[in-house]
A = this chain, B = another copy of it.
């Protein structure tokens, strides 16, 4: 039977060294992991490049719309931080699309899509605007796929990507979603700060970040997207005044409790995606911060506090991916010409 023996001084030293090393490793791990509410945007992983390239073409192709001119990119302008910087977007036949267009950049980080979350993912979202009479004009899935089948370049590409001779709408939206997965904007100044570069943001911006956490913004605006992870009631401490009739999540669930619950928007690149809120009523970031503080958090922010938070939000602008414009596959003689003026007074222009 072994007996208990007191450790030698040498052994005690060894234990102390091992403990110190373990502690140091532990601290180092804690430092490397983002311990705040926001995590850096992870680089794009596992993209099917041919599928994403096909999706890029479809995303930019106005011929998927009734008129032939409105593409996904018309409202989700890839050259304008993924938005159109309008209160409400212009739809088919110049209709007003009565909800503010969210950005497509980093949209893969949203837990669900649309302000009311009615689409579970990007693929389901992509079909919405195409079929919406107010947005791209209401082409049915069959019209879209029959159209694409007349374009030899698309037939070849769908075949190469999906290995089938047919073109299905499921393949169309799948390719668009694959492209959208590539639209991430990593390496913004705040992310560089999160990763350990103390000079990536300045003292005022850091003060803004601390205030952002202290007053509770980060309770909803957190994670990789700085939002996009929950539905929240708009107007907690005071009602949100708007002429816009949208009621958010209620439109999907029809539960009274979901009235005015909207998906919390991500704040990535928020300095570029004005105007703000589902009704696009806040023109500037200062307006938006003031309203959010007051009605969501019960905080009347001093002007310099507002300025600090805005300064922090501006550090959330990331690096946009380089996107080369494709040449879209040309139609064949069998491709019908789009008829933007059908159903408008202009249709009889020269009759």
Say whether A28 faces chain B, with CB atoms less than 8 Å apart: no
Residues of chain A whose beta carbon lies under 8 Å from any beta carbon of chain B: 57, 60-63, 67-69, 74, 77-81, 84-90, 93-96, 98, 243-245, 271-272, 274-275, 279, 283-286, 320, 322-328, 330-331, 333, 337-338, 340-341, 344, 346, 349-351
8 A–B pairs (Cβ distance < 8 Å), ordered by A:
A63-B85, A67-B90, A68-B86, A69-B89, A80-B327, A86-B338, A90-B340, A94-B340
Chain B residues with Cβ below 8 Å from A320 are 327
Distance A48 CA – B245 CA, assembled complex (angstroms): 50
Partner of A333, one of B93, B279, B284: B284
Partner of A98, one of B63, B79, B274, B349: B349
Distance A77 CA – B57 CA, assembled complex (angstroms): 13
Once A87-B337, A323-B325, A350-B243 are accepted as A-B contacts, the answer to whether A330 and B271 lie under 8 Å apart by CB is: yes
Besides the known contacts A61-B79, A98-B349, 16 further A-B residue pairs in the complex with CB atoms under 8 A apart: A68-B84, A69-B84, A79-B325, A81-B330, A86-B337, A88-B349, A93-B94, A94-B346, A95-B346, A272-B330, A274-B331, A275-B337, A283-B333, A283-B337, A323-B325, A324-B324
Once A69-B74, A350-B244 are accepted as A-B contacts, the answer to whether A94 and B344 lie under 8 Å apart by CB is: yes
Partner of A324, one of B63, B89, B323: B323
What is the interface of chain A mostly: helix, strand, loop, or mixed? loop
Distance A351 CA – B87 CA, assembled complex (angstroms): 14
The answer to whether B84 and A62 have CB atoms under 8 Å apart is: yes
Chain B residues with Cβ below 8 Å from A327 are 79-81, 320
Chain B residues with Cβ below 8 Å from A93 are 94
